[in-house]
Copies of this chain bind each other. A is one copy, B any other.
Amino acid sequence: MTKEDWKKYSDVDGECAVRNVLDRLGDKWSMLVIIVLGVEGTLRFNKLHQVIGDISQKMLTVTLKSLEADGLVSRTVYPEIPPRVEYALTERGASLLPHMEGLAEWAATHMEGIYASREKYIGS
């Protein structure tokens, strides 16, 4: 990342790629949903809900919709009764996985140190 690329990160007018994408991914559930779909593969709505555990039905719906809108997740409806809807990563969504993995590994590696720092820290 050179200074020449800098404008990509400092734009204030809402056209900064990093900020836009991280804003979207930075919500409470998007990254986790992507990771789950990446690890588990295609999942139905309720299965996804159950695997994540502590997400509300509403937020799962909202999160999936925004991921679908961005073309990161595909939604397949099977016209049966009872209804069946399957979610999976698109190619674009899957291309994010390596980066999530990288972050996950970084997190796992540095967790302990971070917690230790937090405890020692004397905030105001």
Q: Tell whether A76 is near chain B: CB-to-CB under 8 Å.
A: no
Q: Are A10 and B52 in contact (CB under 8 A)?
A: yes
Q: Tell whether A32 is near chain B: CB-to-CB under 8 Å.
A: yes
Q: Return the CB mask of A69-110 against B: 1 if under 8 Å, else 0.
A: 111100000000000000000001001111101111011101
Shortest Cβ distance from A96 into B: residue: B106
Which one, B25, B31, B39, B123, contacts A1 given CB within 8 A? B39
| Bound-complex Cα distance A18 to B71 (A) | 24
* Chain A contact surface mostly: helix
Q: Are A121 and B53 in contact (CB under 8 A)?
A: no
Q: How many Å from the CB of A59 to the closest CB on chain B?
A: 14
Q: How many Å from the CB of A34 to the closest CB on chain B?
A: 11
Since A22-B32, A99-B99 are in contact, a sample of 10 more A-B pairs with Cβ atoms closer than 8 Å, ordered by chain A residue number, is A1-B38, A1-B39, A1-B97, A5-B104, A6-B39, A10-B36, A21-B103, A21-B114, A26-B26, A92-B113
Would you give 30 A-B contacts (Cβ < 8 Å), ordered by A? A1-B97, A1-B101, A1-B104, A3-B39, A5-B104, A8-B104, A8-B108, A12-B54, A17-B104, A17-B107, A18-B103, A18-B107, A18-B108, A20-B107, A21-B103, A21-B106, A21-B110, A21-B111, A22-B31, A22-B32, A22-B103, A25-B26, A26-B26, A26-B31, A65-B123, A65-B124, A70-B118, A92-B114, A95-B110, A96-B106
